[in-house]
């Protein structure tokens, strides 16, 4: 029990340090990956804490992490789009979005959402130690294993559905993958499963990007010339994601 709580608190300290590093990079505008790394760290935090849902007080941490995710999602989506536009030679459209991001991304560092997350993160280790002393973290290992098994069950159920929802599968794969990274000794994964999960997540991410871009192209005039290419791209992404899901399903079901 004590070792599992120690592992959990060590993870939280490590993630807090990474968040502080991302914060400093956002303030200084040193690189374009600061926002992406911030979002990845927040996702990992949510994966570490997800098995603990239901414990008193932890909903505040989840809400704070979700707030940062909601704030930064449109900005990260714009970064991905701008990079793709630049790669395809649509420099004017890319530059327009990059200029907006140059002003918007540093503001994340001083946002109420990120400040709230730092506040609850500072209190979290002591809060967990208090819960440990009160006996609220008994059978923590079993609790985490049970929640991870439940996540796997939902993913397998979703993949087995012939009319599967790509949006939902993408989220389920993220949850399973990040949870297994947070608690590798409890994941019970076969060799190569992480690679298959990542391949499926990447393929579904490409499909999701094209879906979003097409929706924006209907409202933003400078994207109109991209529509035909994106319509072909989303068809290719659907095929690629179906193949990646089939490989993942084969590994899951044998």
* Per-residue model confidence (pLDDT) at position 1: 52
Name the 3-class secondary structure at 85.
helix
Q: Give the pair of three-digit tokens for residue 124.
A: 């979290």
In 3D space, the residue among 46, 23, 28 whose CA is nearest the CA of residue 108 turns out to be: 23
**How many degrees, rounded to 5, is the angle at CA 203 between CA 159 and CA 23?**
110
Is 1.20.120 the CATH classification of the domain at 1-138?
yes
Q: Tens digit of pLDDT per residue, the chain (254 long)?
A: 578 889 899 999 999 999 999 999 999 887 889 999 999 999 999 988 888 888 877 889 999 999 999 999 999 999 999 999 999 999 999 999 999 999 999 999 999 999 999 999 999 999 999 989 988 888 888 888 988 889 989 999 988 887 788 999 999 999 899 888 888 888 777 778 889 999 999 999 999 999 999 999 989 999 999 999 999 999 999 999 999 999 998 887 65
d(CA 168, CA 153): 14
User: Which residue do the tokens 């907006």 mark?
Assistant: 100
Report the length, in residues, of the chain: 254
**What's the rounded Cα separation, in Å, for the pair 196 and 190?**
11
Distance CA 185, CA 183 (A): 6
**Fold type of domain 141-254:** de novo design (two linked rop proteins) (1.20.1440)
Could you tell me the residue ranges of all domains in the chain?
1-138, 141-254
Put simply, whether the predicted model's pTM sits higher than 0.75 gets the answer yes
Count the Cβ atoms, other than its own, within 10 Å of residue 220.
Answer: 15
How much is the pLDDT for 166? 92
d(CA 214, CA 231): 7
CB atoms within 10 A of CB 192: 10
d(CA 29, CA 11): 27
Instruction: Please tell me the distance from the alpha carbon of residue 26 to that of residue 22, in angstroms, as a whole number.
Output: 6
Specify the DSSP class assigned to residue 38.
H
Q: What are phi and psi of 188, to 5 degrees?
A: 55, 40
């Amino acid at each position: 029990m004590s070792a599992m709580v120690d592992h959990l608190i060590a993870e939280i300290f490590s993630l807090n340090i990474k968040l502080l590093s991302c914060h400093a990079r956002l303030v200084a505008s040193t690189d374009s990956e600061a926002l992406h790394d911030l979002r990845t760290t927040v996702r990992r935090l949510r994966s570490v804490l997800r098995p603990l849902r239901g414990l008193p007080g932890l909903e505040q941490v989840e809400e704070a992490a979700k707030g940062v995710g909601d704030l930064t999602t449109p900005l990260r989506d714009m970064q991905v789009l701008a990079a793709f536009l630049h790669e395809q030679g649509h420099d004017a459209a890319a530059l327009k979005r990059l200029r907006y991001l140059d002003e918007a991304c540093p503001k994340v560092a001083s946002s109420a959402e990120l400040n709230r997350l730092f506040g609850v993160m500072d209190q979290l280790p002591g809060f967990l130690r208090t819960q440990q002393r009160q006996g609220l973290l008994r059978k923590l290992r079993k609790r985490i294993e049970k929640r991870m098994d439940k996540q796997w069950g939902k993913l397998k159920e979703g993949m087995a559905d012939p009319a599967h929802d790509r949006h939902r599968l993408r989220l389920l794969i993220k949850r399973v993958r990040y949870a297994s990274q947070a608690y590798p000794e409890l994941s019970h994964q076969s060799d190569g499963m992480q690679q298959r999960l990542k391949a499926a997540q990447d393929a579904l991410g490409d499909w999701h990007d094209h879906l979003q871009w097409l929706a924006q192209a209907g409202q933003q005039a400078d994207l109109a010339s991209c529509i035909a290419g994106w319509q072909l791209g989303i068809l290719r992404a659907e095929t690629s994601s179906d193949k990646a899901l089939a490989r993942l399903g084969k590994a899951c079901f044998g």
